[in-house]
Amino acid sequence: MLKLRLRNQSQSSGLHEVWLVEPRLVIGTAKECQLVLSDDGLKKQHAVVDISGESLRLRAMGPLIEINGRPINEGDMCELNTGDKLSIASVVMDVVDPKLERRDVKPVNVGAQAAKSNKQEWALKANHSALSDRVYTLSEQTVVGRSSECDIVLAAAHLSRQHARLFIDQGALYVRDLGSSNGTFLNGVRVEEARVRRGDELAFDSLSFGVLGPAETVDKTLLRAPVNPTVARPVRAKAAAAEDAGSATTPDLQRARPQLDKAPEHDKASEAKKGGSAGTVLAITAVLVLAVVVIAKFTNII
């Protein structure tokens, strides 16, 4: 898919581009034209470009037309090729093939590229196959339409000259329809003005675009979950009680230890005393038995 790149548009910065989406591009001053020019001396329909794939054929319908500096007479038809320079009055356009531009890769500053990637810009990515997934970077104010004065020029017959305005306010993206005939749609719903978010689908008439941009601002600091005091208090109380119990137990045990150490000696003395009493009883019993035996023998003798 080829495009026309306008060189000398003083009302905005940078080059404007007209993607050759439809089979026919009408250039002139009439608001019905796909590419509207405002120079004096131009007709309402000044030139027509017939498009068949990547084959372009220009039909001159007015004066002041040149291709690569060669004047084209009114009524003439001629081929337009990639790299040609088309001049209509004071407006100069280049015929550009985006596929060739992609091959012309220039060295980039790695640091600058990394810094740019860290700050993602708002952009529209074309969903229409004719636009080859083209990405349009948005500025603070971006006007979309058929007019050459727009920031994004789309040569679609159903777009208005100035179809819609996209603007960025405090980092957020908004769209405002500029009274277009066929409407501006956000996620399938026609809107007059609305905030646009990353991932939305934005359509100008039937030309739809995916919205690219920075993520929603969020606090990326991970906060620790708050401690429940009702749960923490028993734990602290138990720990304190255990600590108090440990500190109180040590001296108590130290005071009790001498008594515990003396307990075995007391038990031994008690047992020895009990053993001595039992021995005494047995000795007395033996003496009494012996006395009874002696008395019995003595009685028998008498």
| pTM of the full structure | 0.48
* Same topology between domain 3-103 and domain 123-212: yes
Q: Model confidence over 62-109: pLDDT tens digits? A: 999 999 999 999 999 999 999 999 999 988 999 988 777 655 444 445
Task: Tell me the HSE value of 52 on the side-chain side, using a 13 A CA sphere.
Answer: 5
Q: How many residues does the chain have?
A: 302
The CATH architecture annotation of domain 123-212 reads: Sandwich (2.60)
- Give me the residue label for tokens 């047995």: 282
Q: Which residues of the chain have pLDDT under 70?
A: 8-15, 101-120, 129-130, 132, 216-279, 281, 294, 297-302
Measured distance CA(194)–CA(211) in Å, rounded: 13
Q: Where are the domains of the chain?
A: 3-103, 123-212
Given the candidates 3.40.50.720, 3.10.20.600, 3.90.1140.10, 2.60.200.20, the CATH classification of the domain at 3-103 is: 2.60.200.20
